[in-house]
Amino acid sequence: MKKEVSFDGIGQVTATFTAQDGVEVGMPVKIAANGEVAPCAASDPLNAVAVAVKNGCAAVQVAGFVRCKATGLSVGTVKLSADGSGGVKQDESGSAFLVVETDSESATVLL
């Protein structure tokens, strides 16, 4: 099926942080210290996603539509948290997010 719409860049707000070891592009991250992010552990809240990582720094998206690694999600309002392995998971104790697009490996989420 041909993709006819794109959510890329809509509402995107990013900030640059120092990145701890293990931070990779596309993974949920959390604030670890002043101006520093780390990979999220399983069930951590979904607040931000690393969209670029270079030279010990990360561009971190804190608002807007973002693509995340995920499996088994449906579109609509879904409670999510980090899965601890670089993606997001459905989690009834997580926060509610709008999921607008899914496939077998990822989902587009409005932060």
**pLDDT tens, N- to C-terminus, the chain (111 residues):** 567 889 999 999 999 999 999 999 999 999 999 999 999 999 999 999 999 999 999 999 999 999 999 989 999 999 999 999 999 999 999 999 999 999 999 999 999
CA separation (Å) from 53 to 4, 60, 83, 89?
29, 9, 20, 23
pTM for this predicted structure: 0.92
Element containing residue 33 per DSSP (H, E) = strand 28-33
Q: Which of 37, 71, 30 is nearest to 53 (CA)?
A: 37
Element containing residue 90 per DSSP (H, E) = strand 88-90
Distance CA 75, CA 33 (A): 33
